[in-house]
Chain A
Amino acid sequence: MSIQQSIDPAVKAPTMSGAEMVLKALVDQGVDVVFGYPGGAVLPIYDALFQQNHIRHILVRHEQGAVHAAEGYARSTGKVGVVLVTSGPGATNAVTGLTDALMDSIPIVCLTGQVATHLIGNDAFQECDTTGITRPCTKHNWLVKDVDRLARTIHEAFYIARSGRPGPVLVDLPKDIQVAQGTYEGPQNIVHKTYRPRTKGDGDKIAAAAELMAKAKKPIFYTGGGVINSGPRASELLRTLAHATGFPVTSTLMGLGAFPASDKQWLGMLGMHGTWEANHAMHDCDVMVNIGARFDDRITGRLNAFSPNSTKIHIDIDPSSINKTVRVDLGIVGDVASVLEDLLAAWKAGGYSANRGALDSWWQQIDQWRARDSLHYAPSSTIIKPQYAIQRLYELTKDRETFITTEVGQHQMWAAQFYRFDQPNHWMTSGGLGTMGYGLPAAIGVQLGHPEKLVVDIAGEASILMNIQELGTAAQFRLPVKVFILNNEYMGMVRQWQELQFGGRYSQSYSESLPDFVKLAEAFGCVGLRATKVSELDDVIREMISIDRPVMVDVAVDKSENCFPMVPSGAAHNEMILAGHSDGDPQPQVSDEGKAMV
């Protein structure tokens, strides 16, 4: 083949092995770090990796960790995260991470090894139908059967992962393709045949949105992860638009940081564990402007009671998000930054201004809701309240640039409520899929993207055990991530639901036989710290920050604390349970119908 090419003057493209092409394609895509785990079906790629110096490989301890690390890297840097794993179990272990990235719209390119083409379908060793298994959990996937298509496929994969609504893609690479010689095609001039995401919003609809906003008496901006995914410019434009209009702003879990928590127009997070003021404002508003959020069931509560009297505007890059669960009056398909730019221009061009008088009384109403202080919890001087631990973590880290990741459960919601984010891309949490075990590998990915910054995984003692092996990765690569465990010896959110909905029958939710987390950290070559008293907490946090190595902190917190406010499943989004019950208001109850909901 190479002889033929050398005598054919028409062929100028370089010839190389499939494995070398993979590395070259990654370099040409600007990749500097790959998260992976070797195995039989990717040995040629690992051999090519060994012989180059452009790309750094981070050896994880489990392929799920590789995908979450790539997610953390992608979310904190805005770049595409890259994963390299072997066939069979390597691919199936990646499935949770891919599904997580699909639900949260995170751009990931996952390269999987596959058995040689002639063995596919023969139940060969470490064979699985990778493209079949991952079809529903990727944005798109490919099985490469021709080495001359390999480079092009990888370039297409990057394009599809990062454009439109971002998401994970997978390229399955049979071993014979990795060793075959072929011609390399660069990323230039690769135009996809069919995939053309729309980024610019319809001008007429944007003008109509500006007019609706100007007429609004009780408006609200309901923002989501789409603002973050659209890039830092979108967050700037959101701030400009919010200040130009004076409208209140709330955000989903995924969108925290796009609008500063320190801003006076900020209402806090909305939804199942959102603030009293955010959920009431969403319920009572007359014009709702949804910017890059998707009316998730954690936000809407019972659908037929969701914001019944509002005119709804929805800006989303994905046409299928519009009118999926909630019917909207004005759907604008486009990239958030592009649409907000046009919306601001339309607002100015129309000479619009907010209805001041109406807006003032709307803010008075909001201030009354705020006065409920819905995040209030009973403080304690003897026992560390989990909320207090996060408040102290915030106070002691707010003066430096800090990135926060979380696992999933009560600690995650408390982190969202009590850690205050002023910048986008500084908050990484598993929103859609709710993947326990996300936070530690994600923190590793964040730390690689931001080597000098403080990265803290706010964790629970149950979640952290799901990917605890990644402490080995942190130790090996000297990544000084901090794991801040709120240890209540329960799968706290499961326990909370069992208390509220299942008569306090704590079926299997007690964290029995926990390890000694301090010794565990030390066993991995990390530093272990512990705080059991309120008086120890600040010193332990300071010590954690000061150590330039991976640190795991075990904070013994109140075992029975619940996360409030809470919209019980099946309830309307303005029917919230608050902490305390002291004011005599009737608390919403969980209906039988609600018990069937997640």
Chain B
Amino acid sequence: MDSVQRHTIAVMVDNEAGVLARVIGLFSGRGYNIESLTVAEVNDAAHLSRITLVTSGTAMVIEQIKAQLGRLVPIHKVSDLTLEGPHVARELALIKVAGVGEKRVESLRIADIFRARVVDSTISSFVFEMTGSTEKIEAFIALMKPLGLVDVSRTGLVAIGRGPDPL
């Protein structure tokens, strides 16, 4: 049996009404996983948006997902970054930690180790901003839990291929 693998897929789409609903509807209608999905316009002159999708499945399912995405009319390009070679993948997270005393100091110390920045502070809370791999963000969140973690907001993964070539 094929093993389940995680793939990061970049999709260039026309930034038109309903395009995100088409992509999401495709995943829910056909029972595919979405682990994360980010979307934003990346070329305003050409009205192009870039979707970064993280999904998992067997090799056959991943192939299907890409073929099904390719079938959607407003889609320009589907690229499997996981297969196409080295790429950089990052997430941004805002993490709120509330507490006083030693725990508050400890959270700041760990944030420094992780190179998280303080973007908001009260005498009883911090909001940390950090970017990094999903694993790094999850590690940081785990460390914040006993130190007064109260809220997390994450962008989901964005990714881009290494080297000089465009998508």
Interface residues of A (CB under 8 A from B): 131-132, 135-136, 139-140, 143, 160, 192-195, 318-320, 322-324, 327
User: In the complex, are the beta carbons of A194 and B74 less than 8 A apart?
Assistant: yes
Say whether, besides A135-B25, A320-B68, A323-B60, A143 and B73 are in contact (CB < 8 Å): no
- Tell me whether B166 is interfacial, beta carbon within 8 Å: no
Query: B68 to chain A: which residues have CB within 8 Å?
Result: 320
Query: 7 more A-B contacts (CB under 8 A) besides A140-B73, A193-B14, A318-B71?
Result: A132-B21, A135-B18, A135-B22, A140-B74, A192-B73, A193-B74, A194-B76
Is the C-beta of B17 less than 8 angstroms from some C-beta in chain A?
Answer: yes
CB distance from B46 to the nearest CB of A (A): 9
CA distance A300 to B156 in the complex (A): 40
Q: How far, in Å, is A579 (CB) from chain B's closest CB? A: 38
In the bound assembly, the distance between CA atoms of A193 and B70 in angstroms comes to 14
The one of B17, B29, B70, B74 in contact with A136, judged by C-beta atoms closer than 8 angstroms, is B29
Q: Is the CB of B63 within 8 A of A136?
A: no
Which A residues are in CB contact (< 8 Å) with B71? Answer: 318-320
Cβ of A319 and Cβ of B21 under 8 Å apart? no
Closest 9 CB pairs of A and B: A320-B67, A140-B73, A319-B67, A320-B68, A195-B73, A194-B76, A136-B29, A320-B71, A136-B25
On whether the beta carbons of B64 and A160 are closer than 8 Å, the reply is no
Report B-chain residues with C-beta under 8 Å of the C-beta of A136. Answer: 25, 29
The reply on B75 being an interface residue by CB < 8 A is: yes
CB distance from B76 to the nearest CB of A (A): 5
Are A194 and B75 in touch, CB under 8 angstroms?
Answer: yes
A and B contact pairs by CB, cutoff 8 A, 15 listed: A131-B18, A135-B18, A135-B25, A136-B25, A143-B17, A143-B18, A193-B74, A193-B76, A194-B74, A195-B73, A320-B70, A320-B71, A323-B60, A323-B64, A327-B60
A to B contact number (C-beta, < 8 Å): 42
Write the B113-130 contact mask toward A (1 if CB under 8 angstroms, else 0).
Answer: 000000000000000000
Shortest Cβ distance from A320 into B: residue: B67
- With a cutoff of 8 Å between Cβ atoms, the chain A residues found around residue B74 in the complex are 140, 193-194
Once the chains are docked, how many angstroms separate the CA of A143 from the CA of B71? 20
Fill in one digit per residue for B5-26: 1 if any A CB lies within 8 Å of its CB, else 0: 0000000001001100110010
Q: How far is the CA of A317 from the CA of B159 in the complex (A)?
A: 31
Output the least CB separation between B159 and chain A (Å).
22
Q: Which residue of B lies closest to A156 (CB)?
A: B73
Contacts of A319 in B (CB 8 A): 67, 70-71
- Give the CA-CA distance A325 to B18 in the complex, in Å: 29
A140 to B72, CA, bound (A): 8
Interchain CA distance A320-B71 in the complex, whole Å: 8
Residues of B close to A139: CB separation below 8 A: 73
Say which residue of A143, A194, A322, A323 sits within 8 Å of B14 (CB atoms): A194
Q: Which residues of B contact A324 (CB under 8 A)?
A: 64, 67
CB within 8 Å for A160 and B67 given contacts A132-B21, A135-B18, A135-B25:
no
CB nearest to A132 among chain B residues: B21
- Minimum distance in angstroms from B12 CB to a CB of chain A: 9
On chain B, the residues within 8 Å of A140 by CB distance are 72-74
State how many angstroms separate the Cβ of B80 from the closest Cβ of chain A: 14
Q: Which residues of B contact A160 (CB under 8 A)?
A: 73
A263 to B35, CA, bound (A): 53
Check B25–A194 contact: CB distance below 8 A.
Answer: no
B67 neighbours in A (Cβ, 8 Å): 319-320, 322, 324
- B60 adjacent to A135 (CB under 8 Å): no
> What residue in chain A is nearest B67 (Cβ atoms)?
A320
CB distance from B29 to the nearest CB of A (A): 5
- In whole Å, how far is B72's beta carbon from the nearest beta carbon of chain A? 8
Residue of B nearest to A164 (CB): B71
Residues of A with C-beta under 8 A to B29 = 136
Q: How far is the CB of B58 from chain A (nearest CB, A)?
A: 11
- B21 proximity list for chain A (CB < 8 A): 132, 135
B73 touching A194, Cβ below 8 Å: yes
Q: Give CA–CA (A10, B14) in the complex, Å.
A: 29
Of all chain A residues, the one with the shortest Cβ separation from B12 is A194
The listed residue with most B CB atoms (<10 A of its CB), out of A139, A160, A322, A324, is A324
Report chain B residues within 8 Å CB of A194: 14, 73-76
Query: Could you say which of A131, A140, A192 has the most chain B C-beta atoms within 10 Å of its C-beta?
Result: A140
Q: Give the complex CA separation of A97 and B66 in angstroms.
A: 28
Rounded to whole angstroms, the CA-CA distance of A192 and B29 in the bound complex is: 26
Residues of A within 8 A of B60 (CB): 323, 327
Residue of A136, A143, A318 ringed by the most chain B CB atoms within 10 A: A136
| Closest Cβ–Cβ distance, residue B83 to chain A (whole Å) | 15
Which residue on chain B has the smallest CB distance to residue A319?
Answer: B67
Residues of chain B within 8 A of A143, CB atoms compared: 17-18
> Which A residues are in CB contact (< 8 Å) with B22?
135
Q: How many Å lie between the Cα of A320 and that of B60 in the bound state?
A: 11
Q: Which A residue's beta carbon lies closest to that of B47?
A: A193
User: Which B residues touch A318, using CB under 8 A?
Assistant: 71
Give A138's nearest chain B residue, CB to CB: B73
Chain B hits for A193, CB < 8 A:
14, 74, 76
Of all chain B residues, which has the CB nearest A145? Answer: B17
In the bound complex, CA of A139 to CA of B75 (Å): 13
Task: Establish whether residues B14 and A320, one from each chain, have CB atoms under 8 Å apart when the complex forms.
Answer: no
Q: Nearest Cβ distance between residue B65 and chain A, in whole angstroms?
A: 9
> Does A323 lie within 8 Å of B73, measured CB to CB?
no
CB closest residue in chain B, given A324: B64
Kindly provide the distance from the CB of B32 to the nearest chain A CB, expressed in whole angstroms: 12
Contacts of B14 in A (CB 8 A): 193-194
Question: Shortest CB–CB separation between residue B68 and chain A, in angstroms?
Answer: 5
A184 to chain B minimum Cβ distance, whole angstroms, is 22
Q: Which B-chain residue is minimally distant from A193 (CB atoms)?
A: B14
Q: Which of A132, A160, A319, A322 has the most CB of B within 10 A?
A: A319
Name the residue among B60, B73, B75, B76 with the largest chain A CB count within 10 angstroms.
Answer: B73
Closest to A141 in B: B18
In the assembled complex, the Cα of A324 lies from the Cα of B74 at a distance in Å of 22
Residue in A closest to B71 when the chains form the complex, CB atoms: A320
In the bound assembly, the distance between CA atoms of A322 and B74 in angstroms comes to 21
What A residues does B63 contact at CB under 8 A? 323
Instruction: Write the nearest CB–CB distance from B117 to chain A, whole angstroms.
Output: 39
Q: CA of A160 to CA of B18 in the docked complex: distance in angstroms? A: 17
A81 CB, min distance to chain B CBs, angstroms: 19
Once the chains are docked, how many angstroms separate the CA of A131 from the CA of B21? 11
Q: Smallest CB-CB separation from A327: which chain B residue?
A: B60
Task: Give chain B nearest CB distance to A131 CB in angstroms.
Answer: 6
